[in-house]
Each structure stands twice: as C-alpha cells, then as structure tokens.
Amino acid sequence: MEIRSALPEARNPGTAAGWQRQWRVYKQHRALIIMLLPGLALFLLFSYVPMYGVIIAFKHFQITEGILGSPWAGWENFQRLFQGNGFMNALRNSVVIAFLKMVFVFPAPIVLALLLNELRITWFRRTIQTVTYLPHFFSWVVLAGILFPFLGNDGGFNKLLGVFGIPQQLWLLEPDYFYGMVVLTNIWQSAGWGSIVYFAALASIDPSLYEAAIADGASRWRRIWHISLPSIAPTVIIMYLLNIGHFLSVGFDQIYNLVTSPTSGVGEILDTYVLRRLLTMDYELGTAAGLFNSTVGLVLVLIANTLVKLYDKERGLW
C-alpha cells in the first residue's frame, strides 16, 4: 500500500519526490543532455531569436529609429501587400508550384522506394540507389550549371530529341515549360535521398507477411497494395505533415537559380519576393510577406494534423 501511494508522487514532477526523480533522470543522462545543448542553442538562436523581427511587419520601419523606436503601422503593411500586383503574382506562382510538388514530387520518393524494395539483384539496387542519391549532394548553383547547358538549344537533351524528329526547345527559357522543369528537376534532385526513410520503413516489414501472401497466390501488385503501402502509411503521414508546413516555401534556392529574364513572370515566388523587397529596403513588406507565409504553413499543419487525428488518434504529430 505504501509503495502504491508513493508511485503517483514520484511520477508527478510537481511534488518533491517527483523533482528528485526528474533530477536523477537528468543526472543519469547528463552526457546526452550536454551533447544536446549546442544544437538547442543554435535552434534558439536562429529560429526563436529572429522572431523578434516580426514586429517590423506592423511598423513604419526606419533604420535610424530601430524596431522599437519606429512608429506603429497596424495592418497597413498587409493592406499594401495584398493590394500590390507583385505579391499576388508571387502568391499565385507559389500556390501553383506547391500544388504540383505535392502531387508529383512528394510521391516520387515513395514510388522509388517501392521499386527498390522489389529489386532482388543486390548490386543493381545499390547502383540505382547511388545514382539517385548523388544529385542531393550538389547545390542548386552546381545543378543549374549542369542543367542550363544540358537543356540548352545545343544541349544533349535537344540532340537526343532531334534523333526522333522532335523540334528543339529552350526548356529553361520558355515560361510555358517552367513549372514542368521545376517539378522534373526537383524530382531528379530529391527523390533518391527522400526514398531513404521509406525504404527503411519497407525493410522493417515482417518477411513472413510476403511469404504468406505468395503462398495465397497474391501477385506482386497485390503484395505492394495490401502489405507494403499499409505498412509505410504512418511514415507517409508524418512526412506529409512535415512537408505541408512548408507548402508555400517551394524552394528558394532552386527557383532563384533556374529563373531567367523570360521566365521571371512565372518564376517569382514568395521567397524571391521577400528578397527583392529587402534589396529595395522595403523591410515592412518583406517581413509581412514572410509572416504571411509562416502563418499559412502553421494553419495548414494544424488542419492536416487535426484531420489525421480524426482518422487515427495515434498518427498525428502531437
């Protein structure tokens, strides 16, 4: 009886016994906590401290007066933001590219992982993994330097199309092709690396499930549909929730390096809009646009997480 009555106190951190128990846990894992501190400090420094600058979105910011000394503007900066054609064009482009990436880029690593999981020749699978992982380790500056000559008028891709009688195109200079090129190059750069987490989830599936399905005469497609996909569904949901928070952040480094003068109209996104406002010292609009982007991401995460928890309470982020 005494032991049972002591357990709630030990588990409750608000009691003396609870604090002692927590302190013992911290002391036992002090090495891990010490290793955690630098990462935590960097996270606080670069993620939380900059939030102080959000105030600029509600100010008539003047550099000489500083953030606190500048007069308040209320919602005036947001009114200017939504009334400007530049922001609405950037928002429209961001939504279109984000939608295309969620439809085509997000499933690409899942499909690649499923295909790799079906390969039984080990050396061939590892070769495919190496080839698909490699683009991830190059910055978009380097990748753009590869893509522009390759997709140029005299590039290898146009020469290959010429063999089949297909006319040459300036793929990265035509506004009509820009969205498609963004999606395809993003898949090429990220699908291999993104497939690692899904391939690891597939590798953890009990082989006896596949053996039983084969014994029952299930085809390969049936095994994928009824065993592989349901088994990695929790991983897919978590990755989707993490991605939806960056819905309007469609890849500044990619877009900035692939945009040219002919494609600037369809290549202006929220991130590049913020950069241009900063370059023209219009800090209020730049901060307001960034805050709008972050708010949309937060709302989408909350909505998506709520919908997931309605389906399964154990599969949300919190």
Q: pLDDT tens digits for 216-245?
A: 888 999 999 999 999 999 899 889 988 998
Mean model confidence pLDDT for the chain: 89
Range name among 3-17, 278-292, 298-312 with the lowest pLDDT average: 3-17
Which tokens hold the place of 215?
């014994």
Which tokens hold the place of 169?
């195109």
* pLDDT exceeds cutoff 70 at 297: yes
How far is the C-alpha of 283 from the C-alpha of 59, rounded, in Å? Answer: 10
Alpha helix segments (H runs only) across 101-174: 107-118, 122-133, 140-150, 156-163
How far, in whole angstroms, is CA 156 from its chain's centroid? 31
* pLDDT exceeds cutoff 60 at 10: no
How far is the C-alpha of 88 from the C-alpha of 85, rounded, in Å? Answer: 5
> Which residues, 6+ apart, have CB-to-CB distance to 69 below 8 Å?
62
What pTM was computed for the model?
0.85
Q: What pLDDT score was predicted for residue 308?
A: 83
How far is the C-alpha of 266 from the C-alpha of 287, rounded, in Å? Answer: 22
Integer angstrom CA distances of residue 225 from 88, 165, 194, 201, 233 = 41, 39, 20, 15, 11
What is the share, in percent, of the chain residues with pLDDT greater than 90? Answer: 62
Domains and their CATH numbers in the chain? 2-51 (no CATH), 64-311 (1.10.3720.10)
Q: What pLDDT score was predicted for residue 14?
A: 56
Which tokens hold the place of 264?
């600037």
The angle at the Cα of 262, spanning 167 to 93, to the nearest 5 degrees, equals 105
